[in-house]
Amino acid sequence: MGHSHITIHHKAFRPYLSAAELDEAVSSLAARLSADYAGRRPLFVVVLTGGFMFAADLLKKYTGECEIVFIRVASYEGTASSGTVQEILGLREEVQDRDLIIVEDIVDTGTTMHHLLPTLQTKGPASVEIAALFFKPASLQHELTVRYVAREIPNDFVVGYGLDYDGLGRNLPDVYVAV
């Protein structure tokens, strides 16, 4: 790992987690999921774009049978009092009576999941859990249980390993934190 600072869009970042540390955290999480879902066939629902790299590594290490679908979550202002409505793009699979595992790069405020979970629940899944690469408990603004977390982090801005800053940095194998 290059132990030097990097700059993206004139913003400085310092090394935070190496590819090796990420691999260890993801392996550990995959082992937990493999044990908990043994004998079942979960549907991994990967939230793009940020979750792609984490999902690839997690699923290579998942040992059971599973299926994978990629979704995008589009937010738009609804006319009802609910405010923001989340539309799920790409979910064509039948999810009724399935065990769903939402694969997300990061859960910070929890707003996306707060809106996404009820939408998924209306489709009648057997269970829905969240598997996040990163979880920022200090940022959480909604009642939310994130059962599977590779790494809890403080309320820092991170980039790399799928996470971007203004669209850049997703391809970095390590994770950097803003200085």
Residues 6+ apart with CB under 8 A from 132: 103, 104, 105, 106, 107, 146, 148, 149, 150
Q: How far apart, in whole angstroms, are the C-alpha atoms of residue 45 and residue 75? A: 18
Give catalytic status of residue 23 as yes or no: no
Q: How far apart, in Å, are the Cα atoms of 113 and each of 74, 108, 142, 144?
A: 12, 10, 9, 8
End-to-end CA distance of the chain: 18
Question: Residue 168 is encoded by which pair of tokens?
Answer: 């850049």
Q: Which residues of 47-61 are buried (b: 16+ CB within 10 A; e: fewer)?
A: bbebbbbbbebbbee
Of 23, 108, 156, 164, which one is the catalytic site residue? 108
Catalytic site positions:
108
